[in-house]
Amino acid sequence: MPELPEVETIKRGLAASIPHHTIKSALLSPLAHSLRLTPSPHSKQKLENQQFDKKSLFSRRGKYLLLPLKNKTILCIHLGMSGKIITSETPPQTSPHNHLILALVHQNKKLWMTYHDPRRFGFFQILSPEHPSLPALDNLGEEPFSITPDRLLSLLHPRKIPIKNALLNQKIIAGIGNIYASEALFSASIHPLSPSSSLSLQDCEKLILSLQNVLSLAIKSGGSSLRDHRKSDGSLGMFQHQWNVYNREGKPCPLCKLPHIIHRASLSGRSSFFCPHHQKKLSLPSPPLARP
DNA sequence: CGGGCCACCTGGCGGC
DNA sequence: TGCCGCCAGGTGGCCC
């Protein structure tokens, strides 16, 4: 899915196109009930004839998109693996996967915003003062752009799980997915299987800088379009052309060059890509030797 | 707590 | 051409 850069790209696209619009109608697909979270029966009524709240900007938390409305509710969208949000000046083509279509208007100009998600691993929910959050949203870890090395060290220190798995755990750090976890570990020269507890403060500093660098570059390129991601105007993200390791098994390591090639390993059922030559696996400090 | 599974879904791709 | 198996950007649950 959309990881942090893709969601951020969509947020920025929407912020540039729809915040002054009024929602004239909201159409839910017949399949919307089988999204990962079922939308409340009142979703349609809560959205229709509402305006976006100009006092609260559109925002993103981890991989969650938050669109505040004037009636103090927030349209919260998670894109799962295959979700897209596309705006268009004509109604979207009919599809069973258009789970939410908002017909918008501003100064007599019509615009449609469509949430499309074939696999239905994503969802949308209306957060209201009565139901102000979601468990997963409450439990999100810190944002990669604000976490400090000290904080990351303290989160990693008690854990033996591979650092790659820790990066994918949204409760530890929010917004990182399978592509950017591999890319950041590559840049930080950290082996994905390194135990989380083996990272030093300096490793944490380097990892945070690598994360921030790769995420910033990806946002600048409009995210990575592997297959489903589109910017909100329908155009492609371009960061997939700048991947160093993701999906590049067998290709030369861009850093070490031949004969060193990118390897692939499966970690908790997810592909990880790395260069074993410069991403050295860290080991845990040896346990103290038993005194004879 | 953690690792290894599975489930939820559709669709694209390569191999035969 | 067509079918089949495999794989995919995420998350959460269950069992050991």
In this structure, are A23 and A119 located in the same domain?
A: yes
Domain hosting residue A126, numbered range: 4-133
A227 touches strand B (CB under 7 A): yes
User: Could you give the number of structural domains in chain A?
Assistant: 2
Cα end-to-end span (Å), chain A? 55
Q: Which nucleotides of B are covered by protein (CB under 7 A)?
A: 1-6, 8-12
In this structure, are A224 and A127 located in the same domain?
A: no
In this structure, are A8 and A124 located in the same domain?
A: yes
Measured distance CA(A230)–CA(A240) in Å, rounded? 12
- For strand B, list residues 99-118 of chain A whose Cβ lies within 7 Å of it: 118
Burial label, A163 (beta-carbon count in 10 A; 0-12, 13-18, 19+): buried
Measured distance CA(A233)–CA(A113) in Å, rounded? 10
Confidence (pLDDT) at A172: 96
Q: Is A203 part of any domain?
A: yes
A161 touches strand B (CB under 7 A): yes
A154 touches strand B (CB under 7 A): no
In this structure, are A188 and A267 located in the same domain?
A: yes
pTM of the model: 0.95
Question: Whose CA is closest to A230, among A87, A125, A96, A99?
Answer: A87
Confidence (pLDDT) at A115: 98
Q: A269-278 burial by CB neighbour count: b if 16+ within 10 A, else e?
A: eeebbbbbbe
Q: Is A229 part of any domain?
A: yes
- Whether A10 shows a pLDDT value over 70: the answer reads yes
Q: Tens digits of per-residue pLDDT, A278-288?
A: 998 887 654 44
Q: Tens digits of per-residue pLDDT, A230-269?
A: 999 999 999 999 999 999 999 999 999 999 999 999 998 8
For residue A232, the domain's CATH number is 1.10.8.50
Q: Tens digits of per-residue pLDDT, A93-132?
A: 999 999 999 999 999 999 999 999 999 999 999 999 888 8
In this structure, are A64 and A102 located in the same domain?
A: yes
In this structure, are A180 and A86 located in the same domain?
A: no
